[in-house]
Amino acid sequence: MRIRILGWQYENIRRMKELSVDLTKEKGEVYRSSLIMMPNGTGKTTTLYLIRAILSGSAKDWREADVRSYCPPFSDVSEGKFILKIEFDEDVYYYVLHLDYETGKAWYETSSAMMEGGYEEKRRIPIPLRGIFDNKEFINRFVFDGEQARKTLNSGSREAENAILYLYQLDKLDRLSDVMDHLIHTYQEQSTGRATARSVKVFQGKAEKREQIYNALLQDGEELEYRLVQIKDKKRRYENKYHEILAQDSHLKTEQEELMKENAVNQDDITRTINGLMNCIKKPYNLQLDYHTRLKTLAENMQVLKLPKNTAQEFFKELAESNECLCGHCIGERERKIILDKAKEYLGEDSLVVVNSIKRALNEYEREDTCDKLEKHLKELLEEETQIEHGLNRLALQMAEEGNQEVLQLRDEVKRLGQQIIDGERKLERLSTNDYITNTGLNPENNIPKAKTAWDEAKVNYQKVSGAYDFTRKAERMKEYIRRVKNNALKRLKTYMVQETNKKIEQLVENDIVSIKKIDGHLVLEGKDGVSEGQTLAVAYAFIGTLFEHSQYEFPFIVDSPAAPADLSVRRAVAQILPQLFEQTVILVTSGEKKGFAEEFYSLEDVQYLTLKGEKDQPVESIPGRPYFEQYQEKE
Amino acid sequence: MPFYLPTKCKHFFKHIYDPKNRTGTKLRLYFDEYYLCLMVGLVAEKYDEDAELERSEITDRYPAEYAESREYIAGLLFASERSRRGIPESDGAALEKLMTEYIDATSKTHLNLKGEGRLNQYAARGMEIMLDVMNPPIRLDEFLLEYLECFREGRFIRG
């Protein structure tokens, strides 16, 4: 399906009294690229929000204050409207978002040639797009801004993975599983087996209660995990800020740098010493003098006692098979049994070799004093580490004495967050572990695996009394297949996305090596904790380009200030790549984005230029054409 | 019998174990944990008859980093068992009989199933002793210092 934005209209929305933006050419087709110059304060962000609100239907949840925030300042108008004109394949839809400033309510109307009777008082989206458009996060993917780019790389977000799920409709497999659940439920309701209706009800109630507990624990776990990511992120930011503040004082900065340098050397040395010590104690005789004494005593005894004896087990076995002993005595059954019993006390020939190798090893080794030296050195290093930590604390105190109390607050906050992380991780472990030997007191009310087992048991009991056991088992197996299909498809899509996105990033980022390692909810970068704003944009655009490339839907791309934080080289690269990614791109820019970005479009065909201008406290007006677009930039 | 970890081992060492750690500030092998427990059990000359061990084995041979210690570990097993059984140093026959009980020339550890099983029992007791004497470690460096100190002061033997 092809989706095009044909234009939009504002009526009494902030500084827009009555204004139309038309993105079509003479024959009704849209321009491939539309550059709309909107100086700061004319409603760039507002426009983006309103388009998103219409596509996602999110305005119905707005609070009264949200609705009234769109009211023109110092005006007594009672209603505002935003009308969006969209083409889905050949069908044109008009969406009206009504904003009632008196009641604080927002509602939608839709009109299209497909519908009879003019406007219908609801937001009506073509059927194939309903599951997709109802997801606000997904709309943000193609109605895009810098915040969205950051989210793609935010470690707390699952946004990148969700985008793949929705666009390639893998979430429909979840819905299929839901249908299966519904079928199971219906089957259970209808078949009561041989049990009484009352007992079926009791078992059903138990199973439902167990399910609720399990789901609640799962949710607790997810929330805890999310909180931990946030806390870790906050701790990292505070630590950076702490060091930045110390760096403001040139004297303290030098001291801090020296201490940090010493710390790095100290940590390297600690690592080396640990490795040395571990290697050393892998020889038991180095670990303790007593072991050395035991081993050497054993070796000496073996020496003195002439062990192992030269006579091997095999000698007695051969002897037992003879009829006559070496001394000439006859060997009967009784003698044979005694000889074979005795043979067990002697080592076999192969074992003699082993014992000799042990004896040799014990005789030959020499105890080293490396272990003692390394132990002593490690102690010194740990003391030095404490000294360095004290030194850094002293700098913070010095800074505080000079009037900067924030540094102490930051230090305390980092400590507090550190403790929160330890507590949170402990809680999370108790919630999700299945190690019940070391974690005592866990039960189906406070531990996810136990809750799952209890729920499964309750389900089976219910299924058995309801006579739906076999049906449910088959359905569960089917659900498992569906789950695997979904996971497998998602895994392969993610691998593909990473490969293709990395190719695009290579084109966009010239002076640095940036690549995506994997998609784990968000995009995880290879070997980097973070990248610059410009690089964040480059990664996000490259990902979007790949994401939409093979979708069966042809989406437009609307973006607010696409190049603002980027340097000139990234701006040019973004300007070259954006028109290639989508059949229709609508770009809202400020005059500051002319250099390196907007000017790259001047040489392209099929580009529309619009300038929305208006003096402060005056309604905004729209002026089409490139000359004014360029001139306006020059004026500002 | 291959090597099995004592059941409480993973939890005890969880903060200082990370198989992916490349800096050397964590233990990277389960066998490291096993070895640290084994040494404590052997020094105390105590083993658990009914050792609580994990169900799945960690390895049936010594990892490369411990290969050179094969003879010393076997030697320590003989020395500890001789001491436990009260075999006099002058009794060569009894010592050789003890060795025949545990040796297998075809085994990668030089020990037969009984010998490896006995090491598992020593490791299990070693774990219990460590739990009595030490707190679960947070940092490998601090743990190593305390571990060595416990050996030096004989705290594992008293425990």
The stretch B39-53 carries a mean pLDDT of 93
**Calpha distance A198→A307 (Å, rounded):** 80
What are φ and ψ of residue A618, in 5° steps? -115, 150
Please list every residue in chain B whose beta carbon sits closer than 8 Å to the beta carbon of residue A284. Answer: 39, 42, 69, 72-73, 76
pLDDT at A438: 63
Selecting from B7, B68, B141 the residue whose C-beta is nearest the C-beta of A437 gives B7
pLDDT at A449: 95
Mutate to test the interface with A, among B17, B100, B155 (most CBs of A within 10 A): B100
Return the top range by mean pLDDT from A324-328, A344-348, A525-529, B147-151: B147-151
**Cα–Cα nearest to A469, from A458, A477, A481, A461:** A461
Please list every residue in chain B whose beta carbon sits closer than 8 Å to the beta carbon of residue A384. Answer: none
| Residue A362 reports pLDDT greater than 80 | yes
Indicate the pLDDT class of residue A193, thresholds 50, 70 and 90.
low
Minimal CA separation from B123 to chain A, in Å: 14
Selecting from B25, B39, B71 the residue whose C-beta is nearest the C-beta of A287 gives B39
**Cα–Cα nearest to B144, from A289, A284, A287:** A287
**Cα–Cα nearest to B53, from B152, B122, B131, B155:** B122
Domain limits of chain B? 9-158
Strand A585-589 relative to strand A105-112: parallel, antiparallel, unpaired? unpaired
| Residue A249 reports pLDDT greater than 90 | no
* Burial state string for A522-551 with b = 16 or more CB within 10 A and e = fewer than 16: bbebeeeeebeebbbbbbbbbbbbbbbeee
pLDDT at A117: 58
Q: Which long-range contacts (CB under 8 A, 24 or more apart) does A169-177 make?
A: A169/A131, A169/A132, A170/A486, A170/A489, A170/A490, A170/A493, A171/A131, A172/A131, A173/A482, A173/A483, A173/A485, A173/A486, A174/A486, A175/A131, A176/A482, A177/A479, A177/A482, A177/A483
Selecting from B52, B89, B148 the residue whose C-beta is nearest the C-beta of A375 gives B148
Indicate the pLDDT class of residue A253, thresholds 50, 70 and 90.
confident
pLDDT, greater one: A143 or A472:
A143
pLDDT, greater one: A582 or A375:
A375
B9 inside 8 A of chain A by CB? no
Mutate to test the interface with B, among A269, A270, A273, A274 (most CBs of B within 10 A): A274
**Calpha distance A144→A146 (Å, rounded):** 7
Question: What are the pLDDT digits (tens) for A46-103?
Answer: 999 999 999 988 898 899 989 999 998 877 889 999 999 999 888 899 999 999 999 9
**Cα–Cα nearest to B25, from A380, A262, A277:** A277
Mutate to test the interface with B, among A288, A289, A340, A381 (most CBs of B within 10 A): A288
| Residue A194 reports pLDDT greater than 60 | no
Q: Is B19 helix (H, G, I), strand (E, B) or coil?
A: coil
Q: Do B39 and A299 touch (CB under 8 A)?
A: no
**Calpha distance B25→A597 (Å, rounded):** 48
Selecting from B80, B95, B103 the residue whose C-beta is nearest the C-beta of A354 gives B103
> E strand or H helix at A307, and its extent?
none
pLDDT, greater one: A533 or A39:
A39
Lowest mean pLDDT among A101-110, A196-205, A375-384: A196-205
In contact, A66 and A80? CB cutoff 8 Å: no
Reported ipTM exceeds the 0.90 cut = yes
| Residue A635 reports pLDDT greater than 60 | no
Q: In the structure encoding, which two tokens stand for residue A362, read together? A: 């014990």
| Residue A634 reports pLDDT greater than 60 | no
pLDDT, greater one: A212 or A399:
A212
B67 inside 8 A of chain A by CB? no
**Calpha distance A118→A114 (Å, rounded):** 10
In contact, B40 and B156? CB cutoff 8 Å: yes
| Residue A9 reports pLDDT greater than 80 | yes
Selecting from A275, A285, A378 the residue whose C-beta is nearest the C-beta of B72 gives A285
pLDDT, greater one: A317 or A70:
A70
Minimal CA separation from A590 to chain B, in Å: 48
**Calpha distance B84→A130 (Å, rounded):** 77
Lowest mean pLDDT among A417-421, A618-622, B112-116: A618-622
Q: Do B144 and A274 touch (CB under 8 A)?
A: yes
Cα-based distances in Å from A438 to A112, A431, B9, B143? 65, 13, 9, 20
**Cα–Cα nearest to A184, from A456, A459, A480:** A459
Question: What are the pLDDT digits (tens) for A565-618?
Answer: 667 777 777 787 788 778 899 999 888 888 888 888 988 889 999 998 877 667
Minimal CA separation from B95 to chain A, in Å: 9
**Calpha distance A409→A242 (Å, rounded):** 9
Please list every residue in chain B whose beta carbon sits closer than 8 Å to the beta carbon of residue A294. Answer: 75-76, 79-80, 83
What are φ and ψ of residue A529, in 5° steps? -85, -30
Please list every residue in chain A whose beta carbon sits closer than 8 Å to the beta carbon of residue B102. Answer: none
Dihedral of CA B80/B86/B91/B96: which sign? negative
B151 inside 8 A of chain A by CB? yes
pLDDT at A636: 46
| Residue B159 reports pLDDT greater than 60 | no
pLDDT above 70 covers a percentage of chain A that reads: 91
Q: Could you tell me which chain A residue has the CA closest to the CA of B98?
A: A345
| Averaged pLDDT of chain A | 84
How many helices (H) does chain A have, and how many strands (E)?
A: 21, 13
The stretch A313-328 carries a mean pLDDT of 73
Q: Do B95 and A307 touch (CB under 8 A)?
A: yes
